[in-house]
């Protein structure tokens, strides 16, 4: 994990400084036990910053509150952060040489 973290930090330091934003409107489609459909829209918002001086950061401020139902079954650490880390690792290491483990996460502040 320490090795992956060192490689990730080294590779991310070569990326240009910049910011990016992402937003996604999702609908939690859920059929209740009585057969009623309960479509509940919610926003996922994400801002990503790459800065040679301060490092990599991702901010989910502005994301709607947690909704009930199936979307709660994919917790941030176990699911969403894994996708974020994979995308971040691939942008820093397109040749896929950095071992994909939790050491990669250490290089990104969430």
How confident is residue 76, by pLDDT bands cut at 50, 70 and 90? low
Model pTM score: 0.64
Query: Which region, left, alpha or beta, applies to residue 81 given φ > 0 means left and ψ of -120 to 50 means alpha?
Result: alpha
d(CA 12, CA 30): 40
Would you give the distance in Å from CA 76 to the centre of its chain? Answer: 8
Q: Where are the domains of the chain?
A: 2-109
pLDDT tens figures, 15-69: 889 998 888 887 766 655 655 566 678 888 888 888 888 888 888 888 888 766 6
What are the beta bridge partners of residue 30? 38
How confident is residue 6, by pLDDT bands cut at 50, 70 and 90? very high
Pair of tokens at residue 46: 């994400």
């Amino acid at each position: 994990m320490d090795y992956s973290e060192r490689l990730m930090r080294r590779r991310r330091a070569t990326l240009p400084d910049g910011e990016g934003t992402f937003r996604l409107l999702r609908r939690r489609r859920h059929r209740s036990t009585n057969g009623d459909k309960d479509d509940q829209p919610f926003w996922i918002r994400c801002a990503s910053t790459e800065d040679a001086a301060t490092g990599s950061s991702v901010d989910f401020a502005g994301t709607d509150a947690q909704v009930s139902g199936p979307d709660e079954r994919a917790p941030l650490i176990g699911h969403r952060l894994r996708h974020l880390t994979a995308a971040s690792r691939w942008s820093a290491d397109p040749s896929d040489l950095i071992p994909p483990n939790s050491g990669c996460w250490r290089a990104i502040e969430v």
